[in-house]
Structure 1
Amino acid sequence: MNKPFHEFIPRLGLLDATMIVAGSMIGSGIFIVPAEITRSVGGAGWMLGMWLLAGLITVIAAVSYGELAAMFPRAGGQYVYLREAYNPLVGFLYGWSFFAVIQTGTIAAVGVAFAKFTAYLVPAFSDTNVLFRLGFVNVSAAQLVSIGVITLLTYINSRGVKHGAALQTFLTIIKLVSLFGLISCGFIWGARADIWNANWQNAWNLSSLTLSGGALSSSSLSGLAAFGAIAIAMKGTLFSSDSWHSITSIAGEVKQPQRNIGLSLVLGTLIVTVIYVLTNIMFLAVVPLKDIAFAPSDRVGVVAADYIFGNSGTVIIAVMVMISTFGCNNGLILSGARVYYIMAKDGLFFRQAGTLNKNEVPGYSLWTQCIWASILCLTGEYNNLLALVIFGVLIFYVLTILGIYRLRQRRPDLPRPYKTPGYPFLPAIYVVTALALAVLLLIFETRYTLPGLGVILAGIPVYYVIVRR
Structure 2
Amino acid sequence: MDELNQGFGTLYTEQEGVKSTSTGHETRAEPKPALSLFDAIAVIVGVVVGAGIFRIPSVVAANVDSTTMFLTTWVLGGFVSLIGALCYAELTTTFPNAGGDYHFLTKAFGKKLAFLFAWARMSVIQTGSIALLSFIIGDYMTRIYTLGEFSSAAYAAFVVVSLTIINIVGVKFGTGIQKLLLLLEVFGIMIVLGAGFFFAPENSISTTPALSNTSNSLGLAMVFVLLTFGGWNEAAYISAEMRTGRRGMAIALIASIIIITLIYLLINLAYLNALGLNGLSTSDAVAGDLMRVTFGESGLMLISLIVMVAALTSANATIFTGARTNYALGRDFPVFSYLGKWNMRTSSPVNAFLVQGVISLSLIGLALFTRNGFETMVEYTAPVFWFFLMMVGIALFVLRRKEPRLNRPFRVPLYPLTPLVFCLTSAYLLYSSLVYTGLGAIVGVGVLAVGAVLLLALPAIERHLNPNAKPLQ
Aligned-residue offset at 1:309: 2.0
Letter in 2 for 1:440: S
Query: Tell me, what secondary structure is at the counterpart of 1:356?
Result: coil
Is 1:359 paired with 2:369? Answer: no
Percent identity between matched residues is: 26
Distance in 1 (alpha carbons) for counterparts of 2:448 and 2:33: 33
Which residue is equivalent to 1:437?
429
Aligned-residue offset at 1:185: 3.2
Which residue is equivalent to 2:260?
272
The verdict on how the C-alpha distance between 1:70 and 1:78 changes in structure 2, with shifts beyond 3 A counting, is same
Aligned-residue offset at 1:191: 5.4
Which residue is equivalent to 2:89?
66
Given that residues 11 and 254 in structure 1 are in contact (C-alpha distance below 8 angstroms), is that contact kept between their aligned partners in structure 2?
yes
Aligned-residue offset at 1:427: 1.9
Residue from 188, 196, 204 that aligns with 2:198? 188
Written as runs of structure 1 = structure 2, the 5 A alignment for 1:143-222 is 143-190=153-200, 192-193=202-203, 195-197=204-206, 200-202=207-209, 207-208=212-213, 221-222=214-215
Residue from 387, 397, 401 that aligns with 1:395? 387
Given that residues 89 and 460 in structure 1 are in contact (C-alpha distance below 8 angstroms), is that contact kept between their aligned partners in structure 2?
no
Distance in 2 (alpha carbons) for counterparts of 1:230 and 1:452: 27
Which residue is equivalent to 1:135?
none
Is 1:376 paired with 2:376? Answer: no
Given that residues 348 and 463 in structure 1 are in contact (C-alpha distance below 8 angstroms), is that contact kept between their aligned partners in structure 2?
no
Aligned-residue offset at 1:387: 2.4
Given that residues 21 and 265 in structure 1 are in contact (C-alpha distance below 8 angstroms), is that contact kept between their aligned partners in structure 2?
yes
Given that residues 340 and 349 in structure 1 are in contact (C-alpha distance below 8 angstroms), is that contact kept between their aligned partners in structure 2?
no
Letter in 2 for 1:201: T
Distance in 2 (alpha carbons) for counterparts of 1:10 and 1:271: 24
Which residue is equivalent to 2:102?
79
Which residue is equivalent to 2:18?
4
Residue from 307, 311, 314 that aligns with 2:297? 311
The verdict on how the C-alpha distance between 1:330 and 1:44 changes in structure 2, with shifts beyond 3 A counting, is same
Aligned-residue offset at 1:434: 2.2
Aligned-residue offset at 1:92: 1.3
Letter in 1 for 2:273: A
Aligned-residue offset at 1:46: 4.5
Distance in 2 (alpha carbons) for counterparts of 1:46 and 1:141: 40
Residue from 379, 386, 396 that aligns with 2:378? 386
Distance in 1 (alpha carbons) for counterparts of 2:133 and 2:201: 29
Taking structure 2 as the reference length, what is the TM-score of the superposition? Answer: 0.86
Which residue is equivalent to 2:56?
33
Q: Whose radius of gyration is greater, 1 or 2?
A: 2
Q: Deviations over 1:341-384 (max 9, x none)?
A: 01111116621111123423111110110111111112231122
Query: Tell me, what secondary structure is at the counterpart of 2:449?
Result: helix
Aligned-residue offset at 1:176: 2.2
Residue from 414, 432, 444 that aligns with 1:452? 444
The verdict on how the C-alpha distance between 1:349 and 1:108 changes in structure 2, with shifts beyond 3 A counting, is farther
Q: Deviations over 1:110-155 (max 9, x none)?
A: 0000111222322x14xxx31xxxxxxxxx0110101101110100
The verdict on how the C-alpha distance between 1:62 and 1:403 changes in structure 2, with shifts beyond 3 A counting, is same
Taking structure 1 as the reference length, what is the TM-score of the superposition? Answer: 0.87
Distance in 1 (alpha carbons) for counterparts of 2:263 and 2:53: 9
Residue from 320, 327, 345 that aligns with 2:331? 345
Relative contact order, CA 8 A, sep 6+: which one is greater? Answer: 1
Query: Tell me, what secondary structure is at the counterpart of 2:199?
Result: helix
Unmatched segments (≥5 aa) in structure 2 = 1-14, 20-28, 368-372, 462-473
Query: Tell me, what secondary structure is at the counterpart of 2:415?
Result: coil
Distance in 2 (alpha carbons) for counterparts of 1:163 and 1:352: 24
Q: Deviations over 1:245-268 (max 9, x none)?
A: 222212222213412222111111
Which residue is equivalent to 1:324?
310
RMSD: 2.1
Is 1:248 paired with 2:231? Answer: no
The verdict on how the C-alpha distance between 1:37 and 1:274 changes in structure 2, with shifts beyond 3 A counting, is same
Aligned-residue offset at 1:96: 1.0
Aligned-residue offset at 1:283: 0.9
Query: Tell me, what secondary structure is at the counterpart of 2:96?
Result: coil
Distance in 1 (alpha carbons) for counterparts of 2:433 and 2:450: 20
Query: Tell me, what secondary structure is at the counterpart of 1:445?
Result: coil
Unmatched segments (≥5 aa) in structure 1 = 131-139, 209-220
